[in-house]
Amino acid sequence: MYTPAHFSIKSREALHKIIVTNPLGALVTMTPEGLDANHIPFELDPDRGVLTAHVARANPVWQQCKDGANALVIFRGNQSYISPNWYPSKHETHRQVPTWNYEVVHVHGVLTVQDEERFVRGVVARLTRVHEASEPKPWKMTDSAPEYIDGMLKAIVGIEIAITRLEGKTKLSQNRETRDRQSAAQTLIRQGQAQLGEAMQKTIDPEA
């Protein structure tokens, strides 16, 4: 990924935050038919340095990618079009152009297939626990009949990716004047893109 120094994410905690808050990753692998991409919710274990997930047994990716295959997982955070009209300097010099601001993390690693019921059950249980947490009455696997859950678990296969490298990019107008960044951030917030606007403001004032 092309990443100018002023857009690079240096903090491991910041990289992990983007992954955890945007868990639907694009798993990119090389198959006999060429590059393939699958969109899968992942769980990050920062202590072990691994991503875990599951795919449908009918999905050929787990058979095409033998243990030890290289993999890339892309996690995209906040993103939006940025109009040059949002920059005060544009109205003075007319030397600004449209751009797109975004946050993204690329996870490079080695993929291992985990086709064991205990592993898959654990992945599903943890993902469910995290994503059901905001529900008034969180769903859990024991809400369904054991034989139904057993059948569903047999229809999926676990995968684990040992992380070898993390790279992240936050393109948040860091190469623009402070007043231009502030104006664009405020415009995004007014338009309902509060998270991206606030992230831009933090490039000006980390305490914002």
- Residue pLDDT, tens place only, 64-87: 987 789 999 999 999 999 999 999
Query: What is the torsional sign of CA 82, 87, 89, 94?
Result: positive
Residue 205, in any domain of the structure: no
- The residue whose two tokens read 């305490």 is 207
Domain that holds residue 155: 5-76+100-170
Please report, as a single letter, which amino acid is at residue 145. Answer: A
Residue 191, in any domain of the structure: no
Kindly report, residue by residue over 143-189, the tens digit of the pLDDT.
999 999 999 999 999 999 999 999 999 999 999 889 999 999 999 99
Query: What is the torsional sign of CA 173, 176, 181, 184?
Result: negative
What is the arithmetic mean of pLDDT over 107-122?
A: 96
Residue 165, in any domain of the structure: yes
- The residue whose two tokens read 């599951």 is 54
Residue 10, in any domain of the structure: yes
pLDDT surpasses 70 at 208: no
pLDDT of residue 199: 94
Q: pLDDT higher for 57 or 207?
A: 57
pLDDT surpasses 80 at 206: no
Query: What is the torsional sign of CA 90, 95, 100, 101?
Result: negative
pLDDT of residue 95: 77
Residue 180, in any domain of the structure: no
Confidence of residue 89 (pLDDT cuts 50, 70, 90): confident
Mean residue pLDDT of the chain comes to 94
CA-closest candidate to residue 105, choices 131, 79, 130: 79
Residue 188, in any domain of the structure: no
pLDDT exceeding 90 applies to what percent of the chain?
88
**How far apart, in whole angstroms, are the C-alpha atoms of residue 49 and residue 168?**
16
**How far apart, in whole angstroms, are the C-alpha atoms of residue 124 and residue 22?**
17
Kindly report, residue by residue over 22-41, the tens digit of the pLDDT.
999 999 999 888 999 999 99
Residue 104, in any domain of the structure: yes
Residue 184, in any domain of the structure: no
CATH number at residue 31: 2.30.110.10
pLDDT of residue 94: 77
Phi, psi (deg, nearest 5) at residue 40: -140, 140
Give the total number of structural domains in the chain.
1
